[in-house]
Amino acid sequence: MPPLATVVCSARARLFAGLLRLGTQHTGPLQLHTGASCAAKSHYEVLVLGGGSGGVTMAARMKRKVGAENVAVVEPSERHFYQPIWTLVGAGAKQLSSSGRPTASVIPSGVEWIKDRVVQLDPDKNLIHTDSGKQVASRAFEIKGLPEGLRVEKTWKALQDFREGNAIFTFPNTPVKCAGAPQKIMYLTGKRSKANIIFNTSLGAIFGVKKYADALQEIIRERDLTVNYRRNLVEVRADRQEAVFENLDKPGETQVFPYEMLHVTPPMSSPDVLKTSPVVDAAGWVDVDKETLQHKKYPNVFGIGDCTNLPTSKTAAAAAAQSGILDRTISLIMKSQTPVKKYDGYTSCPLVTGYNRVILAEFDYRAQPLETFPFDQSKERLTMYLMKADLMPLLYWNFMLRGYWGGPAFLRKLFHLGMS
């Protein structure tokens, strides 16, 4: 078996990319440069950068291929979070404590956890550099005046305190983890006779898939919500409770909105360590083939999750589906064979529209529905809410992170065979 190293991009806003040495293309072991305080080995067959959803999942899968002693995960955070539940945390339906576990508890047994931060990637030499004492700045907020102390658990208190006036919800002019997330919490504000619920989005539509967009538009009409398209938040004047939005169709033209409550989805980007590396495209995302997840330039680099330029939503569901494809891709490459299994862009976005209702949006690269269940998923359903709130966290912690869940493709086949 040729030596292997994988650098993958996790389903969090952190790095999980992949270095894979093929045959005799490179000589010598993969060198992992770390700070003096790190007791890690100097080389691994599989090296995972980032302990998020994609990173931990691929570490578990690679452990079964090359052995735990040959796999390491580089991740500085002490806690691992299941972020899809944060909408319900912000709405007061779930506790924040239910969303996180110690990172040590989710790293696959026997796999080395290198608690450090990556500061440099050199795929030409199969090298990474880490520095346990150096903080790497990453762009988390780019909005003038926006406080950096905003946290998900504050949302519930803000919702409780809000009684009247303008409640503004925003969608930034950058890719985000889940295109539905910025509006989900809006549907959970409830009806308030003296309140104006406003959604200012940089996009030109409420959702990118027409079937689900039509269903959401009906909810918006029923609840008398205001949606302003092509509006991007550029400044927050907290002392005056004013939010400034730019009209993206008329650059430079701005509009000031007074608010009593402001829910901001901040701009997002890949980490600086990626943006300054040779593995990214012009926009700063890991440049991979959208079907095989192999890098377009470096055959020893692979990507999965948030930090890739895959043209689909950056959700945990997408990372799950990608993990199954990447597993098969790497298996074939290790055998000097050509990858045949192709990722179709599957992702899922459970659109929470109430405290007991969810529209389960599932779609592919073409923005076409790719639904699992044999019923119309554009309808609000209690069953889909229960799946979102209770079943999916169990699936995540007990199956996906252990490398046993690659998305619901087999369920679709099962249901469709049953209907044929």
Query: Which among 9, 38, 307, 349 is annotated as catalytic?
Result: 349
What is the arithmetic mean of pLDDT over 342-366? 96
Q: Which of 83-97, 135-149, 157-171 is predicted with the least confidence, judged by mean pLDDT? A: 135-149
Instruction: Annotate the chain with three-state secondary structure.
Output: CCCCCCCCCCCCCCCCCCECCCCCCCCCCCEEECCCCCCCCCCCCEEEECCCHHHHHHHHHHHHHHCHHHEEEECCCCEEECHHHHHHHHCCCCCHHHHEEEHHHHCCCCCEEECCCEEEEECCCCEEEECCCCCCCCCCCCCECCCCCCCCHHHHHHHHHCCCEEEEEEECCCCCCCCCHHHHHHHHCCCCCCEEEEEEECCCCCCCCHHHHHHHHHHHHHCCCEEECCEEEEEEECCCCEEEEEECCCCCCEEEEECCEEECCCCCCCCHHHHCCCCECCCCCECECCCCCEECCCCCEECCCCCECCCCCCCHHHHHHHHHHHHHHHHHHHCCCCCCCCCCCCEEEEEEEECCEEEEEEECCCCCECCCCCCCCCCCEHHHHHHHHHHHHHHHHHHHCCCCCCCCHHHHHHHHHHHC
Nearest residue to 343 (alpha-carbon basis) of 401, 409, 416, 286? 409
Query: What's the CA gap between 114 and 97, in Å, rounded?
Result: 25
CATH topology of domain 153-263: FAD/NAD(P)-binding domain (3.50.50)
Mean pLDDT computed over 353-358: 96
Q: Was domain 1-139+269-420 assigned CATH 3.50.50.60?
A: yes
Q: Tens of pLDDT along 19-72?
A: 333 332 332 333 333 333 344 566 788 888 899 999 999 999 999 999 999 998
9 is catalytic: no
For the segment 273-281, the average pLDDT, to the nearest whole number, is 92
Determine whether 178 is an active site residue: yes
pLDDT at 227 over 50: yes
Give the confidence band of 418 by pLDDT, cuts at 50, 70, 90: low
- What would the mean pLDDT of 170-180 be, rounded to a whole number? 90
- Domain extent listing, the chain: 1-139+269-420, 153-263
Evaluate whether 1-139+269-420 and 153-263 have a shared fold: yes
pLDDT at 151: 66
* pLDDT-derived band at 294, boundaries 50, 70, 90: very high
Question: For residue 133, what pLDDT is reported?
Answer: 38
Does position 130 have pLDDT exceeding 90, yes or no?
Answer: no
Q: What is the pLDDT of residue 99?
A: 95
pLDDT in tens, 109-128: 999 999 998 888 888 877 78
Q: What are the tens digits of pLDDT across the range 146-159?
A: 665 556 778 888 88
Q: Given a cut of 90, is residue 405 above it in pLDDT?
A: yes
- Is residue 304 pLDDT above 70, yes or no? yes
